[in-house]
Chain A
Amino acid sequence: MLDFPLWKKIMLWVVTLTAVIMALPSLFGAGGVDWPDALPEPSVNLGLDLAGGSHLLLEAEADEVAAQRLQNMEEAVRQAMRNAEPRIRIGDISTSEGKLSFMLNEASDIDRARGLLEPMMQGQDLVREWDLSVIDGQRMVLTPTQSGIETAVNDAMESATEVVRRRIDELGTREPTIIRQGDTRIVVQVPGLDDPEALKELLGQTAQLEFKLVDQNALPSNVQAGIAPPGSQIFPYADGTDFEGQSIAVRRLGGIRGDRLTGAQAGVDPQTNENVVTIQFDVQGGTRFCSLTQQNVNKPFAIILDEEVLSAPNINEPICGGSAQISGSFTADSSNNLAISLRSGALPVPLTVIEERTVSAELGADSIQRGLLAMLIGSIAVIVLMIATYGRFGVYATIALVFNVLMLLGIMAFANSTLTLPGIAGFVLTIGAAVDANVLINERIREERKRGRRVIAAVENGYKEASRAIYDANITNFISACLLGFFGSGPIRGFAVVLIIGLFTSVFTALPLTRMWVAGWLRKNRPNDINV
């Protein structure tokens, strides 16, 4: 027990001091002190509940992804059959119950149709994304496979996360955190943002931009009643436009989508003094836009954003410069928002905010101040109690406690973990519980002394016998803290992190460290009696 080889001592000190050094930037860095470059930079992050800011949990409807995919497939099938040489005539095409089905006009086309469809059903890595079946020799049914849907949802979420990131970056807020969570969720955290309205508005927009030709043959009365002519579909006008509350019928096919954009800027039309958004197409999109406008001069086309019509201007002349202007009763803010949304690309799937938490920066600062005060008073009380009860051994426990807190902070900084408000409670809990181990040891030493063991044997036994209970207690703590971390979200997870790291640091400081000090003292002084 008293044998502490030098290498062991060095190792203990190296571990302890390394962790403590990592804590220093967190302790002083925040005060704007110039930190030497040689020392590690990271300091503990403050959670939103301490720094102030907004937390949003966004969710995508997985069903929506599946539905869109079915629609795209329908489009692709029509296109493939039309482009076949000779053309394969199909009819009665419909998507229902998550399946796509259509009739072949000529049963003899079946093999050619199958040959065309087959390559469309295989995804990347040869994952089968669709199953094909034929009913009565003439009706083809395409059913999405489970893995196909999963891949699609996963892809959609990945690009949605990317789009969200781009949009938030455009807002210029500092250090946002954007993390995908689970299958269909995205967590967005923006420190320092007190009013998340603008953010939510920006994220609420899918920014699916479409240009479609207005169906001029549609009867206005039918359109307002929601009855679309064959080959057309009905969209409502967006809020705030001149035709708010009304709808318009547009041709399903022959339009162009805004996914071929290379840029978008908000501006003001010098002639009308209206807020507008100018967009630029890539080469392919520009060509298509050019030919669309060329073929339809003097006809109206609708500019549709997220299934709502912004405006339906007449095409006065072909637009072939690769850029176009969108107008539609914008305010300066909304045109800017739209420009950002268009620049960052369309969300592949609409996102809804299902959880939102905002904490004011004042409350955060208040919480830190009160938390630190409580921590300070608590530590002093614990230290007084320990020294009054165990004397010299209490002093060792106290020093261990200080190292424990510093190491905990240092490891948190190194692991880049976030300190939250419940995390402060975790610190306090750790302070209260960290001395537990030393209490167990010291009480055991008292007992052993009472039984008449000599000093060294008593200390040795104290450490040995107490260790068992200390390990058991910490392992059970570890189990519940892990569950806390696993099930808890945000701030609660911060609590769990502190508890878990605290378990390790407190066992480390309470056992080997104090043992090293006690051993050093015993060896030097060889006391006949100890006051414990």
Chain B
Amino acid sequence: MKLLKLVPADTNIKFLKLRVPFFIISLLLIVASWAAVFTQGLNYGVDFAGGQEVQITFEQLDQAPIADLRRSVARLGYGAPVVQEFGAPNVVSIRVPLPAEAEATPGAATEIGNEVIALIQGQYSDIRTDGNNTVSGKVASEFRTDAVIALALAMLGVAMYIWIRFEWQFGVGALFALFHDVSLTLGLFAVFQLEFSLQIIAAILAIIGYSLNDTIVVYDRVRENLKKFRKMPLPELLDLSVNETLARTVMTSLTLLVALLPLLLFGPASLFGLVLAITVGLFVGTYSSVYLAAPILIWLGVTSDSFVPQESEADRQEKIARGEIEGGKA
């Protein structure tokens, strides 16, 4: 049987030749992402914004009447509602801010939710109420703080691990690549004003875990080659390492993509944001492990010597043990 080879056996792509332009593009994208986050703001869902949210599926319509809903819910007088598609064209989430006094009154928030549902039920008979969520301002702000802490800790934690397992340059490289991935995902959500919820934080944390897989595979090979080819210039060595691991990088990303796509296309509407963020993170993460995590090692000055001290220490111990017998290495 002839097996499928997605990546030719011997690739020799000069990835690193383009490292400067790509690095600049990435830097610009990071800046643009944060600019978008700060100017446009993230479209917080009920988790982070607080308030009262109802989720409604229009069973007969293909397309939810969003503009109409926005108008009629606004007439209830709770301020401007946020009405948006929720994973599928006929599913909407409607969020109304809670009046200040409603936070202290039990039941007031749900009553507002019921009022919204009743209003829509009056206009469209074929709706299904999927959910009715209230998040107080206090809890929402806690969620925001927790999310920032979790993201920061996750990035630092894995970077520390890589620093311990490899060298500090690798840790910095991984951290930078992660920062890039997280920034771009946030930027995407800011630019397209996709609903940003707890699920998206979960997705980003999953991205942090999985986008690092590719980086680790490349780094592992770089370390191996550094020991093997001590005289090879670093850019060449990195190109070699990336090329050698290209088949794995492509395959691992592809299997994940192949599993995620059906979930994106046919999965539950309420998982759309989560899966979308992971899918985007998958692409960004694969790119960053090749174009950011690897070249950064050049600028941070990784040399074969980075791994020699460990080696020579072990060697010396061995030499002493063997009574100064030279154990040369190829």
Contact = CB atoms under 8 A, between A and B. Distances in A.
Given A425-B271, A439-B252, A487-B146, A373 B205 contact: no
Contacts of A355: 134-136, 139
Interface in A489-504: 489, 491-492, 495-496, 499
Interface size range of chain B in the complex: 35 or more
Greatest chain A CB density within 10 A among B6, B130, B245, B275 is at: B130
Contacts of A435: 252, 255
Contacts of B31: none
Interface stretch (A131-139, A224-232, A410-418, A470-478): A470-478
B280 interface: no
B79 interface: no
B176 to A, nearest CB: 15
B109 interface: yes
Interface in A381-411: 381-382, 385-386, 388-391
B168 to A, nearest CB: 16
Interface stretch (A25-33, A98-106, A364-372): A364-372
A422 interface: yes
A354 B138 contact: yes
B209 A477 contact: yes
B99 interface: no
B259 A382 contact: yes
A386 B255 contact: yes
Contact of B110 (A200, A377, A439): A200
Interface stretch (B62-70, B158-166, B312-320): B158-166
A116 interface: no
Interface stretch (A5-13, A282-290, A426-434): A426-434
A481 B157 CA distance: 11
B299 interface: no
Contacts of A480: 154, 157-158, 205-206, 208-209
A370 B266 CA distance: 6
A445 B179 CA distance: 33
B268 interface: yes
A359 B255 CA distance: 32
A196 B110 contact: yes
A468 B217 CA distance: 9
A197 interface: yes
A371 B262 contact: no
Given A476-B161, A480-B205, A492-B198, A447 B270 contact: no
A436 B213 contact: yes
Nearest to B147: A487
B198 A360 contact: no
Interface string A88-114: 000000000000000000000000000
Given A354-B136, A356-B134, A367-B270, A440 B252 contact: yes
A487 B263 contact: no
Contacts of B132: 356-358
A432 B255 contact: yes
A488 to B, nearest CB: 6
B290 interface: no
Contact of B254 (A59, A385, A429, A472): A385
A446 B245 CA distance: 11
Interface of B: 1, 3-6, 9, 55, 57, 104, 106-107, 109-110, 128-136, 138-139, 146-147, 149-150, 153-154, 157-158, 161-162, 165, 198-199, 201-202, 205-206, 208-210, 212-213, 216-217, 220, 224, 244-245, 247-248, 251-252, 254-263, 265-268, 270-271, 274-275, 278
26 contacts: A49-B270, A353-B134, A357-B131, A362-B130, A363-B131, A373-B262, A377-B266, A379-B259, A382-B255, A382-B258, A385-B4, A385-B255, A424-B271, A433-B256, A436-B213, A444-B248, A469-B217, A469-B220, A472-B161, A473-B217, A477-B212, A483-B205, A487-B147, A487-B150, A489-B198, A491-B199
9 nearest interchain CB pairs?
A432-B259, A432-B256, A477-B209, A377-B262, A378-B259, A367-B268, A487-B150, A363-B130, A480-B209
